[in-house]
Amino acid sequence: MSGDHRYTALDHHAAASAPPAPPPLARLRNLIASPSSTARSRRTLAIAATSIGILIIVAAALHGGRAQDFAAGFAARRGRHGAGRAYEGMLETVLRYGEPQTELKKQMGDARFLTGMLFGGQSNQLLALINLLFIGKELGRAVIVPPLTGIHFGAGQHRPFHLVYDLPRFYSLTNIPTVPLSSFKTPGGPGNVDERVTCWSLMEKYTGAPNVHAVETGFEEHKIFTDFWAVPPFPRSSEGAVLEFGPVVDFLSNTTAQLEWVATTRREYLPQKSVPKGVEPSTVVAEDNVKPFFDPVHGVPPTEDDQLMCLDATFYVGDSVPPPPYPQHVPLDPWRVGRAWKEVGQHLHWLPEVEEHANDYLKALFSVKRAKDIPPYISVHVRRGDFKAFHGNTYTPLSSYVSAVADVRTQLQARLDRPSSPTSLSDKPSLRAFPIPPAEYAVVVTTDEPPGSDLYVELAELGWHVVDHDAQRTVERLGEWYPAMLDGEILSRGQGFVGTQWSTFSMLSGNRVEYWQGGVQVVANPR
């Protein structure tokens, strides 16, 4: 795969970021991963098994008897390479060529594809992509993921999805074919052909207007331009907040229903603008009242290209699910922990290099030399920025975060005191016990407040540890994308989590703490 450069950027990144294998294990790993022949396989495996056993015994002595930890790390390294090979095999089945092409169709293999557009901050973009991937899974389509957009820095620069999240690992966990848009067309490529793609507009159904954030999504950087087509009325979730997944997926999987709806849309000139107050509806000419950016008469409907389906904004789609089973001051968008999160979102992990940089930051924060010596902690996300305007011109008070941390400590202790109680769903890991109780766990804070502010002083007085990207020169050393990635990884490692109301960054971090650590999350009371 890497020989024909089918996924050049990923190959180069993997080569640069993969930790070197310990010399005594390198040959054994190769023997296990790819035995040379059937005739020698039994003897080779026997020798390998014996050698591994000896190595584990030696490692146990060197690691204070923690042979299980050593074996798990060995398996994880081997698994990562296995995931890479499986992912490369998938790419060979869905892409025609080893290099990006000038047109989407030239690069598409025999698979059917789904793509979508993004908007908003990076957390909102990720939530939309989680929904897009879930819909792709339900439809049995390979998903073309657009690049993420840094709208808060770098004049909206784009970063391919595979340079933020570990796609081989994701594919091994979900079996969802996921390919970055940059593997189809090189962004900014001089030979790229202008293309128009028609997208079903879920955003119009929710907000009244389509997603016209084409520059933000990175589509235009790939010379892809979008037209929009209305969708039928869809029911909303029981909370009334989002369009339900079920009816949306049912419509997108039913070609007959789509063709009938296209005919209806053309006949009735949909979608129609609202009739102004005082205007008699019978006097409105439907053909002259179509909403901007839609052309049901001359426009190309999405049904004419069955191989490529496009949705303009999947952020507004979700599950109809009950609230979380534990008490908290303010519920965290309960529809976001439905099937899309459980089957897709929780399996999107950052690249290995992000995890390694997070280790370095935490080691520095706690003044320890080894990652295994990082103590257990409760993570806190203090979102400020423009959030002041949301709550009566005040931020969530620091005292609310302090109270929420105390609540988390109590919940963690109760969980540890009754480990056999069914306190969490079966798809969550068990909460880990440490030599110290939750009452003594450290607190690690990330915030968008600038260093040197009064908040930093107050946090220091509490004895809480604050991730300071200015002091660590994160942007200078690693680039503008890394502060958010490292904050997300560091927050996700907490045994418990405290977030800020309505922050999607908090919501994602809290979900990761639950589904990666078996921990608990609480939202600080904004009053």
HSE-up of residue 255 (Cα within 13 Å, Cβ side): 6
Each as own residue / partner, the long-range contacts of residues 122-126 (CB below 8 Å, 24 or more positions apart, any chain) are 122/148, 122/149, 122/150, 122/484, 122/505, 123/503, 123/504, 123/505, 123/507, 123/508, 124/315, 124/504, 125/149, 126/348, 126/508
Average pLDDT over residues 259-278: 96
Strands 157-159 and 113-116: unpaired
User: For the CA atoms of 129, 130, 133, 137, what is the dihedral angle to 10 degrees?
Assistant: -160
> What are 185's two structure tokens?
């067309």
Residue 143 or residue 22, greater confidence = 143
**Dihedral of alpha carbons 374, 346, 19, 62, sign:** positive
Distance CA 235, CA 426 (A): 30
Coil, helix or strand at residue 234 = coil
Give the confidence band of 215 by pLDDT, cuts at 50, 70, 90.
low
The mean pLDDT value for 454-470 works out to 95
Quick check: 39 pLDDT over 70?
A: no
Task: With a cut of 90, say whether residue 318 has pLDDT above it.
Answer: no
Beta bridge partners of 243: 236, 317
| Short-list 91, 165, 150, CA closest to 118 | 150
The CATH fold assigned to 104-276+285-326 is Rossmann fold (3.40.50)
| Whole-Å CA distances, 159 to 12, 131, 133, 318, 358 | 15, 19, 18, 26, 20
pLDDT at 19 > cutoff 90: no
CB 359 within 8 A of CB 371: yes
pLDDT at 214: 59
Which of 52-66, 72-86, 170-184, 386-400 has the highest average model confidence (pLDDT)? 170-184
pLDDT in tens, 390-401: 666 678 899 999
Q: Is 177 helix (H, G, I), strand (E, B) or coil?
A: coil
φ and ψ at residue 121, rounded to 5 degrees:
-70, 175
Q: Find the mean pLDDT for residues 169-178.
A: 97
CATH 3.40.50.11350 residue ranges for the chain: 350-523
Report the alpha-carbon distance of residue 118 to residue 407 in Å, rounded: 36
Flag whether pLDDT at 363 surpasses 70. yes
**Interval 296-305: pLDDT, tens:** 999 999 999 9
CA 13 to CA 168: how far, in whole Å?
Answer: 12
**pLDDT above 80: residue 514:** yes
pLDDT at position 443 is 98
On the question of pLDDT at 153 being above 90, the answer is no
Give the three-class secondary structure for 338: coil
For residue 436, how many other CB atoms are within 10 A of its CB?
11
Mean pLDDT of all residues belonging to the chain? 82
How far from 98 is each of 139, 144, 373, CA to CA, in Å?
26, 16, 43
Which 3 state secondary structure label does DSSP give 183? helix
Which fold would CATH assign to domain 350-523?
Rossmann fold (3.40.50)
Q: What is the pLDDT of residue 394?
A: 77
Residue 444 backbone dihedrals phi, psi, to 5 degrees:
-115, 130
The continuous run of DSSP H or E covering 11 comes out as: helix 8-17
Which residues neighbour 248 within 8 Å (Cβ) at sequence distance 6 or greater?
Answer: 135, 202, 231, 234, 317
Give the pLDDT of residue 269: 98
Regarding beta strands 520-523 and 148-150, do their DSSP bridges make them parallel or antiparallel, or are they unpaired?
unpaired
Give the global pTM. Answer: 0.82
Q: How far apart are CA 413 and CA 416, in angstroms?
A: 5
Least confident of 1-10, 28-37, 266-275, 466-475: 28-37
3-state secondary structure of 525: coil
pLDDT 10s digits, 79-115: 455 789 999 999 999 999 999 999 999 999 999 999 9
Task: Specify the pLDDT at position 239.
Answer: 63
DSSP 276: P
Report whether 351 contacts 13 (CB < 8 A): yes
* pLDDT level of residue 218 (50, 70, 90 thresholds): confident
